[in-house]
Amino acid sequence: MDFKDYYKVLGVNRESTPEEIQKAYRKLARKHHPDVSKEKGAEARFREIAEANEVLKDPEKRAKYDQFGAAWQQRRAGGPPPGGAAGFEGFDGFDFQFGPEGGGFAQGGSGFSNFFEMLFGQAQASRGAPWAARSSEGRGGWARPGANQEVALSLTLQEALAGGVRELTLSSGVGHESRVLKVNLPRGIRPGQTIRVAGKGEPGRSGGAAGDLFLRIEVLPHPRFRLEGKDLHTALDVAPWEAALGAEAKIRTLDGEVRVRVPAGTSTGRKIRIKGRGYPAGAGGSGEAGDLYAEVRIVVPESPSEKDKELYEGLRKASAFRPRGDES
């Protein structure tokens, strides 16, 4: 197998201090950690960086590695190791192969590369690579937690208000498989809030823990109500004479009806506030509820009868009211 240049892997030189080596290792490890980097081959690169650090941070391993490197360089130049084979006990007779420096990183059964196992022996390698975790089958492997998932959950206004248990069917995206999940929604959850379901995200690898599932709440438009924070808004249609003379009207709420007084002289756009008949204060329905605002709209018949037309005509002639000021 080819010689592996651990100094080159970490981007340091052979005179680098232990502190410099650790600084270089931490920087590269953060960059190439499989849970952070999305680059192709990030996991293999991370293993390579961790193995180089495992050797160079240990004075005994580093000394043996440097000794082997000198022997390898001498053999590559075509001569015997400096001082003769006896000066490099353990390396004489070794079949050096002169591929490119920093060549292949075939992984051994211990989690370390074959190069590491060859250089330090199975006794060292059997301790397991520092980044390796054991799966439930006992094999060495990189234990990686599953990714978190975020899913939009669309609810009607009544469903969000009521809460309760809902059954969801989630697609895994792999082979069109799906899974059924039951979640308990708190009463009064609002748009944009999320529910975390621990351990129901993507499954982990090699014994790693599963990720979490986050349900992002979306509330569907309602034909009668508009939700803003914890307040509800609705429309209240009144006839022209009700707006002019005042009246009593019924307004539907989410959970029943209330009667309100329309003040005399009310114009379109006026809002009538009904305290405490809006939406619950927050997820779980605790705290003070919001308010319901009824916005007045003055409406007239689309097809007035002959009698309606006669009365409206008489009002126009008799009234001095000019909605657009002095315009006649």
Two tokens, residue 110: 């211990």
Core vs surface per residue 154-172: b (16+ CB within 10 A) or e: ebebebbbebeeeebebee
Same domain for 233 and 196: no
CATH code, domain with 36: 1.10.287.110
Two tokens, residue 147: 């990714």
- What pLDDT is recorded for position 263? 95
> Pairing state of beta strands 247-253 and 231-238?
unpaired
Residue 95 in any domain: the answer is yes
214: containing domain = 149-219
The model's confidence at residue 267, banded by pLDDT at 50, 70 and 90, is very high
The whole-angstrom separation of Cα 231 and Cα 4 is 67
Residue 326 in any domain: the answer is no
**The three-state (H, E, C) secondary structure of 16-33, written as one string:** CCHHHHHHHHHHHHHHHC
| Exposed / middle / buried, residue 10 (Cβ in 10 Å: 0-12, 13-18, 19+) | buried
Residue 185 in any domain: the answer is yes
Same domain for 136 and 67: yes
- What pLDDT is recorded for position 94? 45
Same domain for 28 and 132: yes
The last residue of one of the domains, among 83, 108, 141, is: 141
Cβ atoms within 10 A of the Cβ of 176, count? 7
Two tokens, residue 99: 């591929």
Cβ atoms within 10 A of the Cβ of 184, count? 10
Residue 327 in any domain: the answer is no
**pLDDT for 113-154, tens place per residue?**
777 777 776 445 445 555 444 333 334 445 567 788 888 899
Answer for the pair 286, 187: CB distance below 8 angstroms, yes or no. Answer: no
**pLDDT for 38-79, tens place per residue?**
788 888 888 888 888 888 988 888 888 888 877 766 666 655
Number of domains in the chain: 3
The model's confidence at residue 255, banded by pLDDT at 50, 70 and 90, is confident
Same domain for 208 and 169: yes
The whole-angstrom separation of Cα 174 and Cα 66 is 48
- What pLDDT is recorded for position 248? 95
The last residue of one of the domains, among 201, 219, 237, is: 219
The model's confidence at residue 286, banded by pLDDT at 50, 70 and 90, is low
Written as one letter, the residue type at 285 is: G
Bigger pLDDT: 169 or 115? 169
Least confident range of 94-108, 119-133, 204-218, 233-247: 94-108
- What pLDDT is recorded for position 109? 46
> Pairing state of beta strands 194-197 and 164-171?
unpaired
Q: Is the pLDDT of residue 168 over 60?
A: yes
Same domain for 126 and 16: yes
Same domain for 104 and 35: yes
Same domain for 28 and 78: yes
Q: Would you state the torsion angle of the CA atoms of residues 226, 232, 238, 244, taken in this order, to the nearest 10 degrees?
A: -130
The whole-angstrom separation of Cα 323 and Cα 328 is 10
Which whole number is the average pLDDT over 95-103?
A: 43
Residue 323 in any domain: the answer is no
Q: How many helices (H) and strands (E) does the chain have?
A: 8, 13
pLDDT averaged over every residue in the chain: 78
**pLDDT for 174-198, tens place per residue?**
444 678 889 999 888 888 889 988 8
Same domain for 261 and 180: no
The last residue of one of the domains, among 174, 200, 219, is: 219
Least confident range of 13-27, 123-137, 251-265: 123-137
- What pLDDT is recorded for position 199? 86
C-alpha angle 322-324-327 in degrees, rounded to nearest 5? 75
CATH code, domain with 183: 2.60.260.20
The whole-angstrom separation of Cα 240 and Cα 74 is 104
Same domain for 19 and 98: yes
DSSP secondary structure letters along 170-200: EE-SSTT-EEEEEEEEPTT--TT-EEEETT-
The whole-angstrom separation of Cα 194 and Cα 117 is 49
**pLDDT for 194-214, tens place per residue?**
998 888 888 877 667 888 889
**Residues in Cβ contact with 111 at an 8 Å cutoff, skipping those fewer than 6 apart:** 47, 125, 128, 129, 131, 132, 140, 141
Same domain for 69 and 45: yes
Give percent above pLDDT 90 in the chain.
Answer: 30
Contacts 24+ apart (CB under 8 A), 238-241: 238/262, 238/266, 238/296, 238/297, 238/298, 238/299, 239/298, 239/299, 239/300, 240/298, 240/300
